[in-house]
Amino acid sequence: MLTQAQNDLIEKQIGRKPRGIVRIAHQTAEGVPTVLQMRSLVDSRPFPTLYWLCSRDLYRAIAEIETSGWVKQIEWELQQDDDLRKAYRRNHEDYVALRWQLMDPSDRACIERLGFTHLFDQYGIGGIAQWDKVRCLHMQYAHHLCGDNVIGQRMDAEFGLKELVIKL
């Protein structure tokens, strides 16, 4: 359960009242939330995003990476490098399995009742169905901060995101 102070900080970070949060999944040493674990149903709608980046500082830095064209470069590398592609696929598989494992039982029952089970098996990191493509570096990096993600590891190595000072 989030405290009122945490809710207020997250609201300030994302610019609106937060919905569907299970917990803070990652935060700085100073206690600034960076990643939120989300429910699989938000406002009775399927929401296949397990980890949501909430740090404005990280958001801005990653947005610059996205606009630089790096996504196309990493997608090209995924096509050329079998080991990278296999590791990335494992990241998606692990993400899907963890999402099911962490899912609230009532959300799971509702998802099954509504016939959305296939979506939660099909959609990987960032809600993408094509697991050889990269969608939303923000969600890739959020997953990286909470687990194992080769795209996030590359972003740290190439852009030094792990050295970024997170203020809000």
Backbone CA torsion sign across 76, 81, 82, 83: negative
Q: For the CA atoms of 135, 74, 59, 21, what is the dihedral angle to 10 degrees?
A: 40
Among 42, 47, 29, 38, residue whose Cα is nearest residue 2:
38
Among 10, 164, 154, 161, residue whose Cα is nearest residue 70:
154
Tell me: pLDDT of 168 over 90.
no
Which tokens hold the place of 155? 């972003």
Map residue 110 onto helix, strand or coil.
helix
pLDDT band at residue 73, thresholds of 50, 70 and 90? very high
Once rounded to an integer, what is the mean pLDDT over residues 41-54?
Answer: 92
The model's pTM? 0.94
**Per-residue pLDDT reduced to its tens digit, 98-156:** 999 999 999 999 999 999 999 999 999 988 999 999 989 999 999 999 999 999 999 99
| Residue 149 DSSP symbol | -
